[in-house]
Amino acid sequence: MAAITALSAVEVVLEDKIPLFTVCFQSIFLLPSEQNPDIVLYTRTLRALDQMLHTLVFVHPTASIGEELQSVVQVLLPFTSSQSTAAQQRAVERIRKLSHSLALFCQAGPHRSLGRISLARYEELHLPVLGQLVGRLVLCCTSQEDRTRRSALSALHHLYAFILGRARWEAPQEEEQEKLNEWEDDDEISLFTSTTDIVLRFAKHFHSSENTDLILVALQGVRDCSNSHTQVAATMMAALMDSFKPTPDDVQRIVTAIHRWRKLITEKRPNRIIWGVLHWLAASDPHAVTLSLLRCSPTCDNDTWELWKMVLSSVDVVPKMVQEILQLLEMAPLNQETKIGSLPLA
């Protein structure tokens, strides 16, 4: 790791870093608990790993910082749901340190007006995995390991500072002062008080696709065998359904994910949560839900049929869905091929 850090300092291009990160993380995170005789070596190893990550991402990145951070985080994320509490804690702590560096990087912008850092900095910090990252950290706040909980909450604070800065930058010029005042109010009460509080604060400033990623993480938590994850995931879902208006693309992503995971969800409570999500989607955008279900399986397999039955079990949704189906039939006769295949309607 020290050699990799040194190479990055002389601008040697390290292509395809993901396999490199995977090997490093697996080798270190899966080590025995640090209560062993080699604690000094273990500590030095983690310190070298942190130095390598900081240098590769923030000091000598070969691509944009957002792209470098994306590469690291997407390898770290699977470890946040590891069955090994030690591996989970080590991964979350690495995320905390990277999130802290991200927040500091944003604060260091030399061209600030009314708290707004330079345009170039936020353009290079695009992080597609941000919604998923926040969702996983929220779930980690329920960990039985105290250090994991504290690291996850600290990382969320750093990411929230980044999100607030991005929201100010994206605001139209005439709204900048209003956004700045809003940010200062948010910052003064930035101590998160509950799962709902965390989710609502991020959802307020998230892009639509990031809120959808939060929902997808919550759906994964719902199908998790952990009761604590199911409870937190249900709370996340309830908060988002109260505050988020999904686009048609968001609806399709959510419905497709539910269809893909349907067989893995067998318990009554998770199924009730899934029913609530489908009902919410159908009530808010019946057209998008109808198209999404048709796209899931043009031949209407058993899993898709189960989803249809879930959606149509809500009396207030049935007229809207039937109207959408009739309109589709009017546009494309039953035996006519369409972009979504033969309409599987009887």
Distance CA 276, CA 32 (A): 42
Domains of the chain, residue spans: 2-207, 255-346
Q: Which of 3-7, 24-28, 281-285, 296-300 has the highest mean pLDDT?
A: 281-285
- Going by pLDDT thresholds of 50, 70 and 90, the confidence category of residue 7 is very low
- Residue 12: the pLDDT is 44
The residues, ordered by sequence, that sit 6+ positions from 226 with a Cβ below 8 Å of its Cβ are 142
Two structure tokens written together for 63: 């691509």
Cα-Cα end-to-end distance for the chain = 61
Contact, 163 vs 200, CB < 8 A? Answer: no
- Going by pLDDT thresholds of 50, 70 and 90, the confidence category of residue 9 is very low
User: Going by CATH, does the domain composed of 2-207 fall within 1.25.10?
Assistant: yes
The tens digit of pLDDT for each residue in 103-133 reads: 888 876 544 433 344 555 666 788 999 999 9
- Residue 152: the pLDDT is 96
Two structure tokens written together for 27: 């080798």
Residue showing tokens 């409870």: 231
The tens digit of pLDDT for each residue in 295-306 reads: 887 667 888 888
Average pLDDT of the segment spanning 294-319? 85
Average pLDDT of the segment spanning 245-250? 96
Tell me the C-alpha to C-alpha distance, in Å, between residue 89 and each of 84, 99, 189.
9, 15, 27
For 214-262, the DSSP string reads HHHHHHHHHTSS-HHHHHHHHHHHHHHHHH----HHHHHHHHHHHHHHG
Least confident window among 158-162, 300-304, 333-337:
333-337
Two structure tokens written together for 335: 């035996």
Task: For the chain, list the strands marked E by DSSP.
Answer: none
- Going by pLDDT thresholds of 50, 70 and 90, the confidence category of residue 284 is very high
The tens digit of pLDDT for each residue in 130-156 reads: 999 999 999 999 898 999 999 999 999
Contact, 190 vs 165, CB < 8 A? Answer: no
- Residue 43: the pLDDT is 84
Please give the residue that has the higher pLDDT: either 285 or 44: 285
Handedness of CA 105, 110, 113, 117 (dihedral sign): negative
